[in-house]
Amino acid sequence: MDKDREVLNQLMRTAESEGLKNVVPIVDQSEELKTNLEDETIDVVLFYDVLHYMESEKRKRIYGNAHRILKPGAILSVYPKHCKSDMPLWNLADIKLEDVIEEIESANYYLERKSFRKLIHDDNYDNGYILNFRKRWMEASEWKRKLELERENLRNSNILYTNDNLQSF
């Protein structure tokens, strides 16, 4: 997803030359960055060199939208260019890399890998961090155990329930 149609056309030419057939470009010029993609249908979402354009609330919204469309355990990959330690600019200028990681983790992701790489930025080689997160989700067995613990806590509590008469668990 990008506002710039030409950037997406370039991406598609590169994907085609690499034989990638599962890249879907989405042009979105809205401020909400919403998609019509169905829930839990996407394997990977990339946010490369875009976070500095957005204030905190907008970043939280896009993390949430990505979480909605990503499959359980799917990858959110982020190149947080322009944070405090990497050519500071605009909305990330005062934010440390660790703060970006914390912000994304608070949106129900966990950091799987942080790697320092040589990248192309504005037609030049540059070094920067790529952050790969996984969408948090629970296995069915974890949900079952969580529900069992909640029921156990209710049974052991002194809460009174009314149902024509007072009963306690």
Please give the structure tokens belonging to residue 114.
């942080």
- Do residues 118 and 47 share a domain? yes
Domain count, the chain: 2
Range of the domain at 101: 31-137
70 and 133 fall within a common domain: yes
Question: What is the C-alpha to C-alpha distance for residues 38 and 36, in angstroms, rounded to an integer?
Answer: 6
> Is there a single domain that holds both residue 37 and residue 114?
yes
Residue 7's Cα: distance from chain center in Å? 22
Q: Which two tokens stand for residue 14?
A: 């590169």
For residue 110, is it within any domain?
Answer: yes
**Predicted confidence pLDDT, tens digits, the chain (169 residues):** 788 899 899 989 999 999 999 888 888 777 666 788 899 999 999 999 999 999 999 999 999 999 999 999 999 999 999 999 999 999 999 999 999 999 999 999 999 999 999 998 888 999 999 999 999 976 556 656 766 776 777 667 654 443 333 333 3
Residues 83, 40 share a domain: yes
Inter-residue contact 141 to 155 (CB < 8 Å): no
Residue 18 within a domain: no
**Residue 159 in domain:** yes
AA letter at 79: Y
